[in-house]
């Protein structure tokens, strides 16, 4: 026969398991310890009598000596608040929406070459003040109208509805890095807004030329008020525009 001293926070089950490594010894230990009324938690310091007839599981006992079973509770809500507050610092997810490769006629406007989803996971609006990206082609200055590269904010991932023009850029060369500054692009709390980039093709453009937007990781970059960082999930899934007749 031996004894086991209970520590605060243990239940009867915890104590039986810690003492013998075998929960089936419950009745024998309670009987030997003269415990006849169920007590949810011990206050600590109680002594249990362990009869020599119980079956011990020594492997479990050794493990429980390192990490005893105990029913101590812990208020996790402050920790959860801390985690969510931390996540709010990385609250804007930027994802590329797949667009098809298409052939468009010369002299057409608002041909979509890139769509990005801007998802705000916070309970406050996020304001983007600057963005930049890279367009490429074979003769941008000839194929795209003056100020013919346009960036819009929309509630849908296309040109439906009422897109709001954020800026228009004049491009040239084979590759052109553009930037729009002084923006007030607002993504409302817990919502998704779409950034739609279009081009106007000149009537004098060259049939067979192509125009596209770099949309791999970090191809578009953004400046956000408040120093909030972005979860950048951009991928190279934007289609190429081929100029037709």
Q: What is the per-residue pLDDT for 73?
A: 46
Q: Where are the domains of the chain?
A: 2-66, 87-243
Per the model's pLDDT, the better-predicted residue between 86 and 214 turns out to be 214
Q: Say whether pLDDT at 229 is over 80.
A: no
Q: Return the percentage of the chain with pLDDT > 90, whole number.
A: 44
Per the model's pLDDT, the better-predicted residue between 190 and 202 turns out to be 202
- Per-residue exposure over 34-67, b if at least 16 CB sit within 10 Å of its own CB, e if not: eeeeeeebbeeebebbbeeebeebeebeeebeee
- Closest among 157, 238, 237 to 192, alpha carbons compared: 157
d(CA 235, CA 197): 15
Q: What pTM was computed for the model?
A: 0.63
Give the confidence band of 60 by pLDDT, cuts at 50, 70, 90: confident
Which top CATH class is 87-243?
Answer: mainly beta
Please give the structure tokens belonging to residue 243: 């100029």
pLDDT tens column, 14-32:
888 888 888 788 788 888 8
Give the confidence band of 206 by pLDDT, cuts at 50, 70, 90: very high
Per the model's pLDDT, the better-predicted residue between 87 and 51 turns out to be 51
Q: What is the per-residue pLDDT for 30?
A: 82
**Helix, strand, coil share (%) of the chain residues, nearest 5:** 20, 35, 45
């Amino acid at each position: 026969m031996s004894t086991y001293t209970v520590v605060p926070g243990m239940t009867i089950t915890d104590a039986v398991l810690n003492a013998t490594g075998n929960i089936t010894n419950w009745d024998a230990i309670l009987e030997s310890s003269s415990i006849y009324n169920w007590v949810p938690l011990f206050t600590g310091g109680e002594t249990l009598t362990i009869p020599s007839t119980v079956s011990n599981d020594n492997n479990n006992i050794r493990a429980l000596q390192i990490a005893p079973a105990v029913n101590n509770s812990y208020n996790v809500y402050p920790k959860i608040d801390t985690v969510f507050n931390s996540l709010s610092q990385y609250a804007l997810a930027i994802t590329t929406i797949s667009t098809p490769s298409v052939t468009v006629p010369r002299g057409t406007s608002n041909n979509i070459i890139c769509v990005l989803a801007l998802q705000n996971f916070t309970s406050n609006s996020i304001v983007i003040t600057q963005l930049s990206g890279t367009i490429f082609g074979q003769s941008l200055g000839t194929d795209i109208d003056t100020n013919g590269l346009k960036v819009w904010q929309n509630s849908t991932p296309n040109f439906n509805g009422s897109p709001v023009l954020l800026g228009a850029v004049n491009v040239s060369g084979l590759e052109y890095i553009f930037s729009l500054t002084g923006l007030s692009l607002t993504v409302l709390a817990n919502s998704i807004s779409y950034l739609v980039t279009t081009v106007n093709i000149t009537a004098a453009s060259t049939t067979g030329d192509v125009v596209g937007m770099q949309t791999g990781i970090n191809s578009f970059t953004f400046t956000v008020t408040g120093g909030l960082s972005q979860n950048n999930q951009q991928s190279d899934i934007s289609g190429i525009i081929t100029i037709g007749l």
